[in-house]
Amino acid sequence: MRDQDDTKAGTVDAAETRTSQPTDFIRAIIAEDKKNNKNDGKVHTRFPPEPNGYLHIGHAKSICLNFGIATENEGGLCNLRFDDTNPSKEDQEYIDSIFEDVRWLGFDWEDRLYYASDYFEKLYSFAIQLIKEGKAYVCDLSAEEIRQYRGTLTEPGKDSPYRNRSVEENLDLFQRMRAGEFSDGSRVLRAKIDMKSPNINMRDPVLYRILRATHHRTGNAWCIYPMYDYTHPISDSLEGITHSICTLEFEDHRPLYDWSLGELDIFRSRQIEFARLNLTYTVMSKRKLLQLVQEGLVSSWDDPRMPTISGLRRRGYTPESIRNFCDKIGVAKKDSMVDIALLEHCIREDLNDKAPRRMAVLNPLKVVIDNYPQDTIEEFEIPNHPDNPAMGSRKVPFGRTLCIERDDFMEDPPKKFFRLAPGREVRLRGAYFITCNEVVRDEATGEVVELHCSYDPATRGGDAPDGRKVKGTIHWVCEDRCLLSEVRLYDRLFTVENPGGDKEGPDFKAYLNPESLSTLRACRVEWSLNDAKPGEKFQFERLGYFCVDARDSSGAHKVFNRTVTLRDSWAKIEKSIEGGKKDIGDAREQSRREAPAPSLPGKDEVTIEDFAKLDLRVGIVREASVVEGSSKLIRLMVDLGEGRLRQIFAGIRPGYPKVDDLVGHKVIVVANLKPRQMKFGLSEGMILAGYDDEKISIATFEGSLQPGDKVS
């Protein structure tokens, strides 16, 4: 079994690991109920997955909530119950994965494992009871007819012609449904409630359908299966669930939930709804995740790019980090989209303390230390953690030829580059100072293939006795004493924040990130990693956190998954240089060095820093139309390369009597403006334009710049 150590966490007390005391409206309700001694002060929750897919981080939120509430309350309990009422979609494989995932997350249902299918017989009896009391009837309408009779959102439904069958006939028919006398879909059992209810769920909802499918637990014992809306409240009630916590979309099912318990006059569980978790740059619906798996867009449910628990586990996430994340996101009723950066923060926070440090070179560049003795290997004792001596140390071999990261050398470096360059001295982490003397390139391609350096023997261990400092420390491995490994670099699965957000327009798969996985097969990693176990986690210094892939590694051949990069302030500097902010950056430095510039009379000044906050982007006008009811506004739909168009209202109609002329123009858009709600709609940006009292014209662009490119 993999990740044995993590699995042991199965007995942790979630209340103990809680770093703060989050309070939310659900816990407030429960506290209030306890105070009033409702249910004799007992708190009993449940986590009720349907075994038709793998659990994902959204389920983790629910698991942490339900099990968390149980452990926080004296005597509180949380059941695990499979909501297995639809055999056509469910599978034992999913059940097994759910066991593993819940346990791995650190929660324990003890002896309280239940299946809705265990209640089939009781559910049937309750149905008989409803029929006898005239509260349910067998309906012979086809699925299509039921839909028509149901009415619409704005029109009431019509009573089924079978609604007033006698109790005897209903009883007979329902018993024969169970006995298998009727074909699939030919009849259903419905609750008799109110076809005119404004709540569609109350328009005589279906309770049972005929479905000949082999159930993963009950086999072929049944050919009628109860519906969720009927099964769930009764299951909760039978288990004595005091607080039945579910997601927002079930809010308007609550009247039916309450109806079932009320009409049957059994223990009243209370349903409470909260907003499900959405995470940026991923999808969270089981349907979409299943699609990714089935269409081979990812390798499996536990592909490390998946937001599934098993994917996160394989990626190198720890249960603690996920629990902590669930604490931090809170619980509320507002639809929300949590920044995946918060998840990344949580795993960094955890692994920073736990992960031993190692050195690994992903894109090797050969370095020869010319003044180092031939055929000599020495060993450095390097601590496993800079702040925690208790984590010990390991020996790292060093020799005349080394590998360093290609990115750690630049022939013509910009000012802020602190790493190796011709004539520069840097520290090899834990070893020596070296100075680059010569660059060897491939004659044909011009590519740098080797560096010749000299080392200072006096700096052994990494410090210079003369007190001289170096700006940079880089990591390295000994070329003759290292491991050749495969490293998989993962990035976000989608290129847009909300890939499932388009109701019209492209399918979510159109936004898959083609660079979500890059596999490096010629990485040089430090010798000691030879002993690394599947699932074991490390920090590769200066690169990120990595774990040994539990599926594809074998003794000699190791595969490392990058869990998450380290925070990288150099990448930001680099990006700002490339992104065309260079001029502004330099100007910023300049303005700091120089005395304040003389003020311009009569003008309100903004600083260069203020101006730099504007995110100016190239946009292409795709649509333009006049705004009825406004003499000035034109409504523009502008392409900023974001995979959707932005609506922008611009007061430029006086300059553009023929709005169609605007279509196709490249314009400059202030892209990071807070959207403004206008009378005519939301305006998501501004277009730069020039004007005097009479004329107005927008600033347009020629040339090869593309939508979304930066302008400065």
- Shortest distance, position 707 Cβ to RNA, whole Å: 21
Pick between residue 410 and residue 512 the one whose CB is nearest to RNA. Answer: 410
Q: Is 566 in the site for RNA (CB under 7 A)?
A: yes
Output 146 or 512, the one with its CB closest to RNA. 146
CA distance 680 to 670: 20
Q: Is 334 in the site for RNA (CB under 7 A)?
A: yes
Q: At closest approach, how far in Å is the CB of 354 from RNA?
A: 12
Q: Which of 570, 590, 611, 664 binds RNA (CB under 7 A)?
A: 570
Cα–Cα distance, 613 to 617 (Å, whole number): 12
- Which one of 27, 34, 286, 323 is the catalytic residue? 286
Task: Fill in the per-residue mask, 273 to 302: x = in contact with RNA (CB under 7 A), - = not in contact.
Answer: --x---------------------------
- DSSP letter at 581? I
Q: Which of 112, 276, 328, 551 is catalytic?
A: 276
Reference 23, options 77, 69, 70; nearest CA is 69
Give the interface segment with RNA, choosing from 35-43, 98-106, 385-393, 554-562 (CB under 7 A).
Answer: 385-393
What one-letter code names the amino acid at 212?
R
684 is catalytic: no
Q: Please report whether residue 154 would count as binding RNA according to CB under 7 A.
A: yes
Per-state percent for the chain, helix, strand, coil, to nearest 5: 30, 25, 45
Q: What is the CA radius of gyration of the chain?
A: 32
Q: How far is the CB of 666 from RNA (least distance, A)?
A: 26
Between 534 and 585, CB nearer to RNA:
585
Binding residues for RNA, total number by CB under 7 A: 94
Q: Give the contacts of 444 (CB within 8 A, at least 6 positions apart).
A: none
Alpha carbon distance 289, 295 (integer Å): 10
Q: Any contact of residue 348 with RNA (CB under 7 A)?
A: yes
569 binding RNA? (CB under 7 A): yes
Backbone angles phi, psi at 311, to 5 degrees: -65, -45
Q: How far is CA 540 from the centre of its chain?
A: 23
Closest CA to 278 of 215, 350, 332: 332
Q: d(Cα 70, Cα 242) in Å, to the nearest integer?
A: 11
Of 161-169, 222-230, 521-529, 597-605, which part binds RNA (CB under 7 A)?
Answer: 222-230
Q: What is the closest distance, in whole angstroms, from the C-beta atom of residue 430 to RNA in the complex?
A: 5
Considering only residues 451-490, where is the footprint of RNA by CB under 7 A? 461-463, 472-474
Instruction: Report the residue from 182, 228, 267, 701 that binds RNA according to the rule CB under 7 A.
Output: 228
Cβ neighbours around 689 below 10 Å, total = 16
What are the structure tokens assigned to 111, written together? 């002896």
**Side-chain-facing half-sphere of 74: CA atoms under 13 Å:** 4
Q: Which of residues 37-56 bind RNA (CB under 7 A)?
A: 50
Q: For the CB of residue 337, give the shortest distance to RNA in the complex, in Å.
A: 5
Which listed residue (2, 42, 50, 158) is catalytic?
50
What residues numbered 236-255 form the site for RNA, per CB under 7 A? Answer: 248-253
Q: How far apart are CA 242 and CA 33, in angstroms?
A: 10
Identify the residue among 134, 161, 180, 185 touching RNA (CB under 7 A).
Answer: 185
Site string for RNA, 352-381 (x = CB under 7 A): x----x------------------------
Q: Which is nearer to RNA, 66 or 86 (CB)?
A: 86
Three state DSSP letters for 567-585: CCHHHHHHHHHHHHHHHHH
Cross-strand bridge partners of residue 638 = 621, 646
Selected from 122, 395, 468, 567, the binder of RNA by CB under 7 A is 567
The candidate with the shortest Cα–Cα distance to 402, out of 459, 361, 437, is 361
Distance between CA atoms of residues 412 and 418, nearest Å: 12
Question: How do strand 666-670 and strand 686-687 relate by DSSP bridges?
Answer: antiparallel
Chain CA centroid to CA 194, Å: 41
- What is d(CA 272, CA 526) in angstroms, rounded to the nearest whole number? 52
CB of 140 to RNA, least distance (A): 8
Task: Please provide the DSSP assignment of 85-108 as one string.
Answer: --TTT--HHHHHHHHHHHHHTT--
Give strand pairing partners of 564: 545
Interface positions, 647-676, toward RNA (CB under 7 A): 674
Work out whether 419 is an interface residue with RNA (CB under 7 A): yes
The verdict on 22 binding RNA (CB under 7 A) reads yes
Pick from 533, 572, 582, 632: which binds RNA (CB under 7 A)?
Answer: 572
83, 226 contact by CB (below 8 A): no
Task: Give yes or no for residue 608 binding RNA (CB under 7 A).
Answer: no
96 or 609, CB closer to RNA? 609
CB of 581 to RNA, least distance (A): 10
Let me know how long the chain is: 712
Please tell me whether residue 422 binds RNA under the rule CB under 7 A.
no
Among residues 568 and 660, whose Cβ is nearest to RNA?
568
Q: Is 136 left (phi over 0), alpha (psi -120 to 50) or beta?
A: beta
From 4-12, 332-340, 363-371, 690-698, span contacting RNA (CB under 7 A):
332-340
Could you tell me the smallest distance in angstroms from the CB atom of residue 164 to RNA?
18
- Is residue 50 annotated as part of the catalytic site, yes or no? yes
- Is residue 167 at the binding interface for RNA, with CB under 7 A as the rule? no
* Per CB under 7 A, 136 contacts RNA: no
Whether 276 sits among the annotated catalytic residues: the reply is yes
Catalytic residues: 50, 276, 286
